[in-house]
Amino acid sequence: MSGRFAPYGWSLLLHALLVVLLSISLHAPAPRPQPAGQPQAEVEPIQAKAVDESVVQAEVERLRTEARRQQQQEDARRKQLQDEAQRAKETRQREEQRAAELKRRAAEEQKQRAVAEQERKAKEAAEQKRLTELKKAQAEAEQKRVAEEKRAAELAAQRKQEEDARKKALAEQELKAKMAEEDRRLSAEAQKQAQERARQNATLTQRYIADIRNKVERNWLRPSNVRPGMTCTVLVQQLPTGDVVSVRITRGSGDAVFDRSVENAVYKTKSLPPAPVPEVWEREIEFIFEAR
């Protein structure tokens, strides 16, 4: 029962109690009849007891006191319940505030974790990008180094090739110069030797021709009309053995007898003297025959 309707409830309860008491006093039980032949029991006279108003008033007062006490208990209990409800409300509010604070903190922590995770991912992405760029830079640097080493090797090979070519050209030039000098020396020496051989051969040829002329002169029969100092040029063809093949006067003396006598002397010689050296031997020998 709510607090607002409690006094009316207790008043109705007191009036109902008074009605019940009056009913009990007015309706007392009737005496039971005795059976026949039995002595009739002494019947106490039924006395109607009047309800003392003071008693009723006392009872009402007592009931009121009890009602007030109960009302006070009820108020105290209601206050206790209200206090408990208030404390429960405050506790709930504190719990709700605590839960809200915890939720706020959790949301803040989650937000911080999300921010931290985002920052971590950003750092990882940045680090990955840095590592990728570093690897790319290292790869490019390595490629550049390899290309520079290759280019340096190619330049070194080219310089070495050029140096080798220069040294080779220089060596060839020096060799050509030496060979040219040697050729000049050999040519000069050969020319000198050739000149010496020519001079010697000329001397030997003169001697050879003189030997031929002397041998022909030994076989010459001098005509009577020949004068000393008469000359004619004779061309003789011979074999390698020195045998005379043919004789021809290439420049006559003007005296046919003299010319023919010289020609007959060569044929009479038959075999010319051997050449002192093979170099001076010729198939055709031309010499001047002079009468002495």
What residue segments make up the domains of the chain, in order of their start? 193-290
Both tokens of 247, joined, read 């004789």
Q: What's residue 24's pLDDT? A: 59
Give yes or no for a contact between 238 and 244, defined as CB atoms under 8 angstroms apart: yes
Residues of the chain with pLDDT under 50: 102
**Coil, helix or strand for 48?**
coil
Q: What's residue 100's pLDDT? A: 67
* 193-290 CATH, one of 3.30.470.10, 3.40.50.620, 3.30.1150.10, 3.20.20.70: 3.30.1150.10
Q: What's residue 19's pLDDT? A: 65
Q: What's residue 104's pLDDT? A: 86
Q: What's residue 173's pLDDT? A: 87
Relative orientation angle of helices 6-26 and 53-218, to the nearest 10 degrees: 140
Q: Provide the whole-model pTM.
A: 0.39
Q: What's residue 47's pLDDT? A: 53
φ, ψ (nearest 5 deg) of residue 28? -75, 155
What is the per-residue pLDDT across 230-254, written as a single tens digit (0 to 9) for each?
999 999 999 999 899 999 999 999 9
Q: Mention every residue, 6+ apart, whose C-beta is less than 8 A from residue 41.
A: 34
Q: What's residue 102's pLDDT? A: 44
